[in-house]
Amino acid sequence: MFRSCFVSLLVILISFETVGQINSDCPDNIASDGFNILVQVVGTETITREFILYVPQNYDENQATPLVLNFHGFGGCISDYSSEIGESYAMNALADSENFIVAYPQAAYRPEKEDVYWEPGDNGIQDIYENDIYFVEQLIEGISQTHNIDLSKVYACGYSNGGMMTYSLACNRPEIFAAVGIMSGVMLSEECDGMQDIPVITFHGIDDQVLPYQGNVWYQSVQEVIAFWLDHNNISESSLISVDLNEGKVRRDEYSTQDASSCVTLYTVFEEWDKPGDHVWFSDQIEGITPNELLWSFFEGQCTQVSSVEQEALLLDLVNLSPNPIRNQLVVHSDFDNPQKFEILDGSGKNLVHGIIQANRTEIELSNLLPGQYFFRISGQSLRFIKVD
C-alpha cells in the first residue's frame, strides 16, 4: 500500500456522540471511563489506537505529573485489564495517593496471531499500527499534549506479553523511560539498540507454566534475562544482595553498581495466596507491601532503594566463600561467634544441601552438584557462587 509522507497525530477524548463511529476489537473498551484514542492520518488513511487514561484525583494541570504506562498480556482488552489491575488490585488508588497518571494502552489485532498482541522490536516504520514502539512514542507525546507530564518520570510496566513489550521499550527507547517493571514476563530477543542503562525490576513465579522460570525451547529463563540486564547495565553479579521475605515464600535479589547509578531487582515468588507462584500479575502483600507499591517505590526511588538493605548486607560482610567458581569443595570463612545454619539452593530456590557452619572456617563437599549457579543461604540472605567441572 502506498503511504504519503504526511503524518499527523492527535489524541481524542471520546464523547458519547462519537462512540458509535468506532470499530473496536474490544467493544467493551469504548464504555470504559477514561477511554481515548490516538489518531494517525497517513495520506488519506486514518489509523486509530485505543488506551484508557486514569488521572489521579488531585491532578493539577499546573504541576508536572509522572506517567506510568501499563501493558496488558496476550489477547487481553484494556476494559478488563484496567478493571483488574487498576481497580481490583488498586493501582488507580495508588495513583491517587502518590499522584501519578496511568495509561493502559490496547494492543492491536494481529491477523497472524488471530488475536490482539504486543509486537516487540522496532521495525522503523512510522505507523502506530505497524510499529508498537512508534505507537508508544506517539502515545506519550499525545498524552503530554493534553496533560502536564513530567517527561523525566515516565515509566513502563507490563504483564506477560506486555512484559515482553516493556523489555523491548527498555532496549529500544531507554532514553524515554526512567525505569521499567515486569510481571511474569521475559525477553524475546537479546538485542538492544539503546545502550543507555535503565533500572529494571521484575516479578516472576517459580511455577509459571506459560513463561517457565527455568525457560524452555521457546523462551529464555528468568536468570538468563537477569544476566542480560546485568551485562547491559554494567553491573557485577557479585553485587547480589539476596533476602528471604514472607517467611521464605518470596526471595528478593538486588544487584547494583557501587555508586547505585544502575540496578536490577528480581522478586522470585515461590508461593502467593497459599499456591505456588503462577503466571499472574502478583497482588499478595510482600512483608506488608503490595507488589504495586513495590513497583512504584522502585520507579520513584530507582537504584537508591538498594541502600535500604545496607543493614542486611552487613551480615554478608561476615561471610566469605572461596574459591568462586568452585570444583568440588566450598570453603566458608566466617566471623560469627557461634555456629550458624546454612542452606545451598539452586536457581529455582530448591534446597539441595544444608548443615552448620562453624566459626572461622568450614569446608562443604559439593562434588555431587552439577555445574551451574547456586546460592549459599544464611540467616535469610544469600551469596552466589558457581560450580564448574
Taking the C-alpha atoms of residue 36 and residue 137, their distance in angstroms, rounded to an integer, is 16
Among residues 102, 100, 165, 179, the alpha carbon closest in space to that of 136 is found at 165
Mean pLDDT, to the nearest integer, of 291-314? Answer: 70
Q: 191-211: per-residue pLDDT in tens?
A: 787 678 999 999 999 999 999
Q: What is the pTM of this model?
A: 0.79
Among residues 251, 132, 154, the alpha carbon closest in space to that of 198 is found at 154
Q: 80-89: per-residue pLDDT in tens?
A: 999 999 999 9
Looking at the domain that runs over 51-312, which CATH code has it been given? 3.40.50.1820
The reported pLDDT for the residue numbered 217 is: 93
Cis check for the bond before 66: say yes or no (omega within 30 of 0): no
Mean pLDDT, to the nearest integer, of 282-297? Answer: 94
Q: Which tops the pLDDT comparison, 200 or 354?
A: 200
Residue 182's contacts (CB-CB under 8 Å, 6 or more residues apart) are: 157, 158, 163, 166, 167, 200, 201, 202, 203
Q: Is the pLDDT of residue 5 over 60?
A: no
Among residues 66, 20, 289, 22, the alpha carbon closest in space to that of 177 is found at 66
Domain over 318-387 is classified CATH 2.60.40.3080: yes
Taking the C-alpha atoms of residue 182 and residue 245, their distance in angstroms, rounded to an integer, is 19
Residue found under cell 539452593:
345
How would residue 347 be classed by pLDDT, with cut points 50, 70 and 90? low
How many CB atoms lie under 10 A from the CB of residue 318? 14
- Nine cell digits for residue 222: 528468568
Per the CB < 8 A criterion, the answer to whether 135 and 48 are in contact is no
- Work out whether the CA dihedral 281, 284, 286, 290 comes out positive or negative: positive
Q: Which tops the pLDDT comparison, 305 or 108?
A: 108
To 10 degrees, what angle do helices 91-98 and 291-301 make?
A: 40
Question: Where do the domains of the chain lie?
Answer: 51-312, 318-387
Give the residues across from 104 on adjacent strands. Answer: 52
Q: 48-96: per-residue pLDDT in tens?
A: 999 999 999 999 999 999 999 999 999 989 999 999 999 999 999 999 9
The reported pLDDT for the residue numbered 191 is: 73
How many CB atoms lie under 10 A from the CB of residue 151? 13
The reported pLDDT for the residue numbered 11 is: 54
Q: Which tops the pLDDT comparison, 224 or 258?
A: 224
